[in-house]
Amino acid sequence: NGYENIIVERRGRVGIITLNRPHALNALNAALMTEVVAAATEFDQDHGIGAIVLTGSEKAFAAGADIKEMTSLTYADVLLSDFFSAWDRFAAVRTPTIAAVAGYALGGGCEVAMMCDLLIAAENARFGQPEITLGTIPGIGGTQRLTRAVGKAKAMDLILTGRLMDAAEAERAGLVSRIVPTERLLDEAIETAEKIASMSLPAAYAAKEAIAQAFESTLAQGVTFERRTFHATFALADRAEGMTAFVEKRPPTFEHS
Ligand code: HXC
């Protein structure tokens, strides 16, 4: 399918993007970023896809932004190219996204995983923001998303020391929703994606947008947004079907409309 740094597959209503630069532990260079954004955008525009899984290898989800690519850049270079801002497009995908993380998710790798709606970790997963050890700081949302996910104390600890945290600590801290045996990771992520993709896609968009509001607004504004969005689901054929199916004691058939 023309990609060099990722593998893209579809399984029914699930889209799978696998980061594939094994010689560099999936370090995120510009070419890889462009491909991930393109593949995710294509899945997002395809309403035959109801959930997207982003994964890496067993050794590394991604060991960070590509340090070799950044070494000689100047301030003017990164400012004028708005370096890393293209990832914002990945975060803006409306289709539910799941990061399936095994091995290292460091720096930009951790940040891209945190852009996903749901994070499932293998037992061998290790998360960290080691940018400080390179004389820089996270630049793809790490100081913001990690702090919202795990709170100030642990975000300060991780970002100021650069230390890594294992899957158990990440789950305790609220960064990941579940931990699974490493060999089960992809199956678990795909099963979860299939489950999500079997729901009404407009309802999934609504749920995702409403949760996102929790990070963007006051409680009162967020609750109002939720209430209006909930009201709006009564315009969906899928909402009528879901409730009718319950009453008739049968499984619903969602048409994503
Ligand atoms: C470029 C990388 C890389 C990276 C690993 N590699 N991480 N190349 N950018 N981020 C390359 C190594 O150079 C090496 O290539 C190959 O992948 C295998 O890595 P090793 O170090 O030999 O593996 P290992 O000893 O198992 O150690 C794994 C590791 C270590 C602990 C993950 O690679 C590591 O510390 N990587 C850097 C992690 C990091 O600092 N990430 C944050 C990046 S900054 P060769 O060719 O030598 O075999 C970032 C910034 C975000 O993300 C935005 C703000 C600026």
Tens-place pLDDT, residues 66-121:
999 999 999 999 999 999 999 999 999 999 999 999 999 999 999 999 999 999 99
78, amino acid identity: V
Give residue 15's pLDDT band: very low, low, confident or very high (50, 70, 90).
very high
The Cα–Cα gap between 254 and 150 comes to 35
Give the pLDDT score at 134: 98
Is 65 assigned a catalytic role? yes
- Residue in 39, 62, 113, 131 annotated catalytic: 131
Give the chain's end-to-end CA distance (angstroms, integer). Answer: 30
Is 131 assigned a catalytic role? yes
Is 108 assigned a catalytic role? yes
Any alpha helices (H) in 116-255, and if so which ranges?
A: 142-150, 152-161, 167-173, 185-197, 201-213, 219-232, 237-247
With 80 as the cut, is the pLDDT of residue 1 above it? no
Token pair belonging to 104: 């290292």
With 80 as the cut, is the pLDDT of residue 22 above it? yes
Any alpha helices (H) in 46-151, and if so which ranges?
A: 67-70, 75-80, 87-91, 108-115, 142-150
The Cα–Cα gap between 71 and 66 comes to 9
Give the mean pLDDT of 239-255: 98
With 80 as the cut, is the pLDDT of residue 165 above it? yes
Chain-wide mean pLDDT for the chain? 97
Nearest-atom index, ligand 1, CA of 134:
40
- Residue bearing the CA closest to ligand 1, atom 1: 66
User: 138: Cβ below 6 Å to ligand 1?
Assistant: yes
Å from CA of 156 to ligand 1 middle: 22
- Express each pLDDT in 168-208 by its tens digit: 999 999 999 999 999 999 999 999 999 999 999 999 999 99
Q: Side-chain half-sphere of 133: how many Cα atoms within 13 Å?
A: 12
Q: What is the ipTM of this complex?
A: 0.96
Average the pLDDT over each of 1-5, 13-17, 140-144, 199-203 and give the range with the smallest value. Answer: 1-5
Token pair belonging to 206: 């609504």
Give residue 28's pLDDT band: very low, low, confident or very high (50, 70, 90).
very high
User: 25: Cβ below 6 Å to ligand 1?
Assistant: yes
